[in-house]
A and B are shown apart, each in its own frame.
Chain A
Amino acid sequence: MTGLRSIDGTASGPAWDYDKLVFEDRVHRVLYTDPRIFDEEMTRIFGAVWVYLGHESQIPAPNDFVATRMGRRPLILVRDSEGVLRALYNRCTHRGSTVCREARGSAKSFQCGYHGWTFLNTGKLNGVPWPDGYADNFDDEKFNLAQVPRVESYRGFVFGTLNLDAPPLIDYLGGVAGPLDEWLDRHPGGKVVLCEANRLKFKGNWKLLYDNSADGYHVVFSHRSLLAMENRFDEDGDKGMAFYKSNPDNAPMYVRYFGNGHHFKDKRPNVEDRPGALWEIEGPHPGMEHFEASLRQRLGDKADRALDLASSEPVNINVFPNLHILGNHIQVSTPVSVDETDTTWYGTAVVDEDGDLEGTVDAINALRMRTQESFPNFGEVDDLVNFEQIQVGFQAEEDEWVYMHRGLGIPDRFQVDDDGVITGPPTDEVFMREHMREWKRLMTAEPRIAIARAV
């Protein structure tokens, strides 16, 4: 890390004996309700693994910034004047106020509103009002803004960690980089840009969302109203998530666990592998018939591919602990407290720098905005209320266990490859058992946590 020096620290011992709380088939309710466990997670999970902080398209130019959080820590993700990505602590080194109150913008420096200390977007203290009142000459780096010591980007996805011993980001991602690559590579130039969001929150623990993220068991029950809505013109229709109807385990989709808490529910095998097949199963969306007709007229044979770009990609790619790629969304979940979580569904737009789409990219995006609004409006709201109801159920203190043993103990239910990647039926809770195993490992590890400051 050029120009940065880290200040080492090590997390203190665990609050609980996790051997008594996490078993192969079940976990204890206090994982979701105890504020002490939550506090530990903020260090041992949200400090110690690579946490998704933002997307490079949010800060395309030097001096751009966007406010973000790493667990509870308020951060400013910046591309500094030299173009270097940094995750600055939004916390004045004087007496602790935030130094930036905007959600996004462009700034070469940040001035604290309280007493006017000013910091460059490298984090370096640039000046304090009336310095002759200090015996100090401020050349000690301790007055520069704290920052996340390790920030790395993978194809536009920016992550940070405080853990000096964490593996390189690419190794942390491991196998989950595969589906992430495929998701990006279906777009021209292998990239997308963020285009605003459906911003949601729920009164429940952040893990309830992560536990649900590869859950193929809940879909036909939790999303019954959405499935009915998508097929209201034809009850036996095959629109949207209709491939979950009857027993999803008989469908060709699967769930896969990659290690490090990352998993993947791949629904693409349910859909024929040919241009236009994704578009054909889209439920109704505003502008659908108009834009389809106009794209077909303009693009001829190539229209199917263009329409597939406006369609939802049938994947759930879950990067522990806070990033979910699903449909065309980049969903980020951010814990607020033990029983409150923000979850933001960033939409993505197609960019066509090489002209592959023959001038139709705006039409594709006009359609793609509407396809992306569907699930947060008509699906996610039901999921989030269900999570809130779990949090209510957990107030029953004596009823301690949360079971996640679907598939456990059934011979030949999973395949495990040479790299330890596990593949099983889509309704299986194997992904949850595995990320809970990883959670327990992290909660009992001793990460070397550090912040850095410009020197």
Chain B
Amino acid sequence: MDAPDPSTSSYYVSDDFYAALVEDFSGWQTPERAITDSALRDSCARFLAEEARLLDTDRLDDWLGLFARECIYWVPGTRDGDPRREIAIAFDDRRRLEDRIFRLQTGEAWSQRPGSRTTRMVSNIEPFSTPDPEIVMVRSNFLTVEFRAGETRSWAGWAGHRLRDMTTHWKILVKQVNLIDYDQNLRNPSIVL
């Protein structure tokens, strides 16, 4: 039997999946796991630049295409919490991520009318190995400057990308976005971070 389509149903976000997610995102930035191979570091950097470019140029469908079929886009509202027990700023599986993009593209999401223009700076890119040789975790810092409705403001923090090497191209299994002001009241957090 074919696996269920994660664009229309959510079977993969199970208790085991959550447990693995929490495990994968704790204590992964260790010196022993740091990857020094310059080709791999360069490949990660190019990938993150591509992601930033797609978001800055409003190519949200192409951005979605960077994700694995079974994926998570996660903006935690706490540090080191468990999304099973806590509200997140955003916690999207594949279908909800497609929902998010669908909504923004209706033209009737008033929080994005007019839409935001963004410039994303991504730096301090550090890949780390995982027990799975096909998977790397990448830490990067971001500074996203957003212009909307006459005002310019910024979002800052670091992202953790869990990437799978598809030999030709990376795919995002999980993107975790850690805002520096994650525990504060945020004004119009309607752009994709």
Contacts and interface: CB of A to CB of B under 8 A. Distances in A.
A232 B99 contact: yes
Given A232-B99, A289-B9, A290-B14, A382 B87 contact: no
Contact of B15 (A199, A228, A366, A386): A366
Interface stretch (B50-58, B106-114, B166-174): B106-114
Given A200-B189, A229-B99, A287 B106 contact: no
Contacts of A247: none
A370 B110 CA distance: 23
Nearest to B150: A392
Contacts of A87: none
Interface stretch (A27-35, A118-126, A147-155, A341-349): A341-349
Name the residue among B4, B92, B93, B111 with the largest chain A CB count within 10 angstroms: B111
Q: How large is the interface on B (under 10, 10 to 19, 20 to 34, 35 or more residues)?
A: 35 or more
A226 interface: yes
B87 A203 contact: no
Q: Main secondary structure on chain A at its contact with chain B?
A: helix
B10 A285 contact: yes
Contacts of B84: 362, 365-366, 369
Contacts of A345: 87
Nearest to A341: B185
B185 A196 contact: no
B111 A382 contact: yes
B124 interface: no
Contacts of B111: 381-382, 384-385
A291 B10 CA distance: 9
Interface string B66-109: 00000000000110010111111111110110011011101011
Contacts of B135: none
Nearest to A286: B93
Given A373-B91, A377-B90, A224 B189 contact: no
A26 interface: no
A342 B185 contact: yes
Interface string B1-34: 0001000111111110010000000000000000
A344 B87 contact: no
A61 to B, nearest CB: 18
Interface in B165-193: 183-190
A198 B77 contact: yes
B11 A229 contact: no
A142 interface: no
B150 to A, nearest CB: 10
A366 B96 CA distance: 15
Contacts of A294: 14-15
A227 B18 CA distance: 28
A231 to B, nearest CB: 11
A372 B108 contact: no
Interface string A372-409: 11000110011011100100000000000000000000
A455 interface: no
Given A197-B77, A222-B110, A224-B106, A287 B189 contact: no
Nearest to B88: A373
A128 interface: no
A134 interface: no
B91 A381 contact: no
Contacts of B11: 289-290, 293
Contact of A349 (B13, B18, B85, B100): B85
B128 to A, nearest CB: 26
Top 5 A-B residue pairs of the complex, sorted by shortest distance between their CB atoms = A287-B13, A347-B87, A286-B93, A381-B111, A201-B185
22 contacts: A196-B77, A196-B88, A199-B186, A201-B187, A225-B109, A228-B106, A284-B99, A285-B96, A286-B10, A286-B91, A286-B95, A286-B96, A287-B10, A289-B10, A290-B10, A291-B14, A342-B185, A343-B185, A362-B15, A366-B85, A373-B90, A373-B91
Interface of A: 103, 195-203, 222, 224-226, 228-229, 232-233, 284-291, 293-294, 342-347, 349, 362-363, 365-366, 369-370, 372-373, 377-378, 381-382, 384-386, 389
Interface of B: 4, 8-15, 18, 77-78, 81, 83-93, 95-96, 99-100, 102-104, 106, 108-111, 183-190
Given A202-B188, A228-B108, A373-B88, 20 more contacts: A199-B183, A199-B186, A201-B186, A201-B187, A224-B108, A225-B103, A232-B102, A284-B96, A286-B92, A287-B13, A289-B10, A290-B13, A293-B11, A343-B185, A345-B87, A366-B15, A369-B86, A381-B111, A381-B189, A389-B110
